Chain A
């Protein structure tokens, strides 16, 4: 459970935005909140496996670019149609300007 991996530099992501991070055959989405906190979830929408990093972040919500499935990216909770399965979330820490994700 201690496999922290470097996802990106802190300034690779704009405030209130999301980017894609691929590691070990898996895809993650890394978020920077309006308060400059960082979060990570699985990178694919649980509705039709579309990359969430192409979606729009507004407040605490990531919205899937395809069919507007919405999730709270801090908790992974699905927020209504058409998705009903939550996203997995992953611990994130920032160290020396790098965003690290515990992918295990």
Chain B
């Protein structure tokens, strides 16, 4: 590096931004690396917030890197501060505390924020989960006898429903769609999750919108379209997330369901990259279909890839989407995008676990969705992910037969 190096600035100190900073050092970059986050914490893992953190009486963050590691690697972490504006001409970012950070390359890893329920009547007892502070606030209400209304039957809502039940709360899940997990999860698998919640005593109401909400600060009354009223001590709203794009949009960067980046995660400005939940990108494995993923591993992979490409590696994103969820003793894993499939082949595994393989019309394996106790589906989903990445066309009968090892199909 020259002495004039302005260095690398990363806006967003979550999984993606944290991984990017560490990767820059792994790759030998020795200029300044500055990580800016609006939370007071070290970069931390978000998946536990709806799972393990709720099981603990005193939740703690699971940091990606300690202060000592950041110091040892000369990564400057500026916390509790927001990025206010990007001056692309001057190659600098102004922060909410008035300071200005010059950059050679900038990475926007600003993530996503919960989609807000747009209706009158919401108050202090209507909450969202995104940050550790949100998790602490929710955890404070979860106890035996408390009444929790979960609005939205997606993963966050259902994981929190499971956690709430574990702690003895009475839980009602309200989903406007005809079934839970409508987005990206096959009905057969959603049904297993649904049944598990019912068996654990969760009340699930599907196919009903919300007519009104009344939150007096002590309790929430949710009135459903059909007239039923659900009273709760807390309403947790989990109806999806929207990418955080304001900073990028104000700077004139192209936005398309997130900060639009190319296969190398570069935005419409060659010195500004974006990665993780905040960006949409062309997914090579599906012919460049533009997607935005809200997934933990994607945040890791794209953080690392952005770091490489900030150092001019010119490497294209080639990963297959992968996602998991844990509820009660069940683990669900999905590789690929199941909506790319036309035909489905089922493989039954031991202990009631099974995998659905989704095939395109021409026989290409495009996705695999599995559910079972513990880690029953993990190995096969991982192998399926590799087959998807190879654009393999495995014989349906081989996919459907437990006697055929998926690993053997990789060699084909």
> Contact at A54–B378, with CB atoms within 8 Å?
yes
Whether, in the assembled complex, A91 has its beta carbon less than 8 Å from a beta carbon of chain B, the answer is no
Most chain A beta-carbon contacts within 10 A, residue among B297, B304, B375: B375
> Contact at B304–A81, with CB atoms within 8 Å?
yes
- Distance, CA A8 to CA B334, complexed state (A): 33
Whether, in the assembled complex, A56 has its beta carbon less than 8 Å from a beta carbon of chain B, the answer is yes
Contacting residues of chain A (61-97) with chain B, CB-CB under 8 angstroms: 63, 65-68, 80-82, 84
- Distance, CA A81 to CA B23, complexed state (A): 10
Tell me, rounded to whole Å, the shortest Cβ–Cβ distance linking A42 to chain B.
17
Whether, in the assembled complex, B342 has its beta carbon less than 8 Å from a beta carbon of chain A, the answer is no
Chain B residues, Cβ within 8 Å of A32:
none
- Distance, CA A63 to CA B333, complexed state (A): 15
> Contact at B45–A82, with CB atoms within 8 Å?
yes
> Contact at B378–A55, with CB atoms within 8 Å?
yes
CB within 8 Å for A66 and B375 given contacts A81-B300, A81-B304, A82-B300: yes
> Contact at B382–A63, with CB atoms within 8 Å?
yes
Total count of chain B residues near the partner, CB < 8 A: 18
> Contact at A54–B383, with CB atoms within 8 Å?
no
> Contact at B383–A56, with CB atoms within 8 Å?
yes
> Contact at A54–B375, with CB atoms within 8 Å?
yes
Whether, in the assembled complex, B19 has its beta carbon less than 8 Å from a beta carbon of chain A, the answer is yes
For the residues of A in contact with B, the DSSP-based class is loop
Chain A residues, Cβ within 8 Å of B65:
84
Residue in B64, B322, B379 whose CB lies within 8 Å of A55: B379
Chain B residues, Cβ within 8 Å of A50:
375
For the residues of B in contact with A, the DSSP-based class is helix
- Distance, CA A68 to CA B296, complexed state (A): 11
> Contact at A56–B45, with CB atoms within 8 Å?
no
Whether, in the assembled complex, B240 has its beta carbon less than 8 Å from a beta carbon of chain A, the answer is no
Interface size class of chain A, counting residues whose CB lies under 8 Å from the partner chain: 10 to 19
Chain B residues, Cβ within 8 Å of A67:
296-297, 324
- Distance, CA A4 to CA B339, complexed state (A): 52
- Distance, CA A81 to CA B407, complexed state (A): 24
Q: Mark A8-30, 1 if CB is under 8 A from B, else 0.
A: 00000000100000000000000
- Distance, CA A50 to CA B52, complexed state (A): 14
Whether, in the assembled complex, B374 has its beta carbon less than 8 Å from a beta carbon of chain A, the answer is yes
Tell me, rounded to whole Å, the shortest Cβ–Cβ distance linking B17 to chain A.
13
Chain A residues, Cβ within 8 Å of B375:
50-51, 54-55, 65-66
- Distance, CA A80 to CA B64, complexed state (A): 12
> Contact at A56–B304, with CB atoms within 8 Å?
no
User: Which single residue of chain A is at the shortest CB-CB distance from B406?
Assistant: A56
Residue in A54, A80, A82, A84 whose CB lies within 8 Å of B379: A54
Contacting residues of chain B (1-42) with chain A, CB-CB under 8 angstroms: 19
- Distance, CA A50 to CA B45, complexed state (A): 16
User: Which single residue of chain B is at the shortest CB-CB distance from A52?
Assistant: B375
Tell me, rounded to whole Å, the shortest Cβ–Cβ distance linking A36 to chain B.
17
Tell me, rounded to whole Å, the shortest Cβ–Cβ distance linking A56 to chain B.
5
Chain A residues, Cβ within 8 Å of B407:
16
> Contact at A66–B45, with CB atoms within 8 Å?
no
Tell me, rounded to whole Å, the shortest Cβ–Cβ distance linking B65 to chain A.
8
A-B contact pairs, 12 of them (CB 8 A): A50-B375, A54-B379, A56-B378, A56-B382, A65-B375, A65-B382, A66-B331, A66-B375, A66-B378, A67-B296, A68-B297, A82-B64
Which B residues are within 8 Å of any A CB, using their own CB? 19, 45, 64-65, 296-297, 300, 304, 322, 324, 331, 374-375, 378-379, 382-383, 407
Shortest 9 CB-CB contacts between residues of A and residues of B: A65-B378, A54-B375, A65-B375, A81-B300, A56-B379, A56-B382, A81-B19, A54-B378, A65-B379
8 extra interface residue pairs, beta carbon distance < 8 Å, beyond A65-B382, A67-B296:
A16-B407, A51-B375, A54-B374, A54-B375, A55-B378, A63-B382, A66-B331, A66-B375
